Amino acid sequence: MSDLQQKFLQFALDKEILKFGEFITKFGRHSPYFFNAGLFYEGSRLYQLAHFYADTIIKNNLDFDILFGPAYKGIVLAAATSMTLAEKNINKPFAYNRKEAKDHGEKGILVGAPLTGKILIIDDVISAGTSVLESIQLIQQEKAEPAGVIVALDRMEKGIKDISAVEEVKQTYQIPVTAIATLQDLLQLVANNPELQTHQAAITAYREKYGTI
């Protein structure tokens, strides 16, 4: 686990965005941890999160021309990360979609920079991959190229199939999916922190049951 990943997970823990306990996932599973990206609602939290996205983009040398944020959470992430990249002298435009097309004023479903060249999709997590599919379709309709996806946390967990939603996106669309941190990083953080080690057995058991590797 890199210093960046460790700082991100510790930040999520400190702000109680990442919690341990008993939670029900969308698949009805009893999970020993929960990551709620909806709690990045304060300016300082969002600013820090955008820095983690930007640093991950730079660290992984992600090649793209435009950031695309799927409605709704992706809109804020795309704007904030674009601003943070600009602070680092990487000036990348952003765009996002509406849930419903607008028939007056600035018509259409897309807002922001015209989708041309290589498009990096930014979102909080990939659950069922639905927003990614919709984003890819929009990007391809504009004759642009989906260049990849970046998310905050990869749970490395099976979805409906025997592979994770992240792996399904990689295989189906042949594009890379990059996460700021993964479940493997979380397990390492827990193992190295005496205050968190009480959760290690439950997380390990959950991964053995539902994990993809």
Known catalytic residues? 102, 104
- β-pair type (118-122, 145-154): parallel
Q: How many CB atoms lie within 10 A of CB 76?
A: 18
- Whether residue 149 contacts residue 132, with contact meaning beta carbons closer than 8 Å, is answered with yes
How does DSSP assign 43-87, residue by residue?
A: HHHHHHHHHHHHHHHHHTT---SEEEE-TTHHHHHHHHHHHHHHH
Q: Closest Cα partner for 122 from 50, 68, 63, 65?
A: 68
